[in-house]
């Protein structure tokens, strides 16, 4: 354990695997970072500026993209700096902050994806009674869902970080690129209270939302199958992008849960997957598949070409 000026520092050992390709990875990740910020901010701007996009589905989508902007802003600068540095170290307090941001926003994404699936489900249920949808998905309901999607994960992760802070470190080298679940490997002994709370948090912030999403989309598919061909086609067009994002996101989160049991090579590849393509997945898939957003994007680019 390195202790200078009463500050505990942790060495990030995942960068050793980059070897002589550091500059190549830096260029790729810097490009992905800039594109992610630009794509997400552009779509959030369009949703905020156009009244016809102020629907619950678009609002939840804007919140999902906002999470991505905050996540990338919090994680990428340190990541990019470490790629070019000879020594990759981070203070324990900053490491805990990374840990908090990473899992809070990941859990928030699950809640927002659940909200989007619930919105789609209510839309399909209200097809025969169109006036029923506005009474269910009111502005107050949407606002409450957004607040819960951010506050519940933040509250639970605050408790988890408090329990982690009280754990004693016996190692100062973390075999990862940033402070995630691998942090548990540094503890002298496992905490029963932390283990129980993390299991409950996993159920509450990941598995329950995942099961809820699967339930709602199963119901939608059953209802669309019983309806006409046009309804089935519309259901496939609206549900498919959501399911693609959900599968990719759930796979990466599932990997993170079992990270302690996996080898470093797989850790290296999966971490790069998480930072390379997933940040661009939401704006590209949803931005192109949501017709109203796609229309405004085309107009924006056409105006940019004229100017």
Alpha-carbon span 186 to 189, nearest angstrom: 9
Percentage, residues of the chain above pLDDT 70: 81
Residue 277: predicted pLDDT: 66
Could you read off the pLDDT of 194-239 as tens digits, one per residue? 888 888 988 898 889 989 998 988 888 887 777 767 766 766 666 7
SS3 assignment, position 121: helix
Could you read off the pLDDT of 44-63 as tens digits, one per residue? 988 888 888 888 888 998 99
Predicted TM-score (pTM) of the model is 0.86
Domains, the chain: 2-306 (1.20.1070.10)
Of 117, 73, 45, 36, the closest CA to residue 281 belongs to: 36
Alpha-carbon span 261 to 275, nearest angstrom: 21
Residues 6+ apart with CB under 8 A from 240: 289
């Amino acid at each position: 354990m390195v202790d200078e000026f009463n500050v505990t520092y942790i060495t990030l050992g995942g960068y050793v695997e980059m070897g002589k390709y550091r500059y190549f990875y830096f260029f790729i990740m810097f490009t992905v970072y800039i594109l992610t910020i630009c794509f997400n901010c552009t779509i959030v701007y369009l949703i905020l500026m156009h009244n016809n996009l102020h629907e619950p589905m678009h609002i939840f989508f804007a919140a999902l993209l906002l999470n991505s902007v905050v996540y990338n802003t919090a994680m990428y600068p340190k990541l990019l700096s470490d790629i070019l540095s000879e020594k990759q170290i981070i203070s324990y307090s900053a490491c805990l902050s990374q840990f908090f941001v990473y899992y809070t926003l990941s859990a928030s994404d699950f809640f927002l994806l659940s909200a989007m699936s619930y919105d789609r489900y209510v839309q399909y249920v209200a097809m025969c009674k169109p006036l029923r949808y506005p009474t269910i998905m009111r502005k107050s309901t949407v606002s409450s869902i957004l607040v819960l999607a951010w506050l519940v994960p933040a509250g639970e992760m605050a408790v988890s970080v408090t329990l982690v802070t009280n754990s004693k470190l016996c190692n100062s080298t973390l075999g990862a690129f940033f402070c995630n679940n691998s942090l548990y490997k540094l503890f002298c002994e496992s905490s029963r209270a932390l283990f129980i709370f993390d299991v409950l948090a996993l159920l509450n912030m990941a598995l329950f939302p995942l099961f809820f999403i699967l339930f709602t989309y199963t119901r939608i598919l059953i209802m669309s199958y019983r309806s006409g061909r046009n309804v089935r086609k519309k259901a496939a067009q609206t549900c498919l992008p959501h399911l693609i994002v959900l599968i990719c996101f759930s796979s990466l989160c599932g990997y993170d849960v079992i990270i302690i049991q996996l080898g470093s090579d797989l850790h290296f590849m999966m971490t790069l997957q998480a930072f390379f393509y997933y940040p661009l997945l939401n704006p590209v898939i949803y931005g192109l598949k949501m017709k109203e957003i796609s229309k405004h994007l085309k107009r924006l680019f056409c105006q940019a070409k004229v100017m």
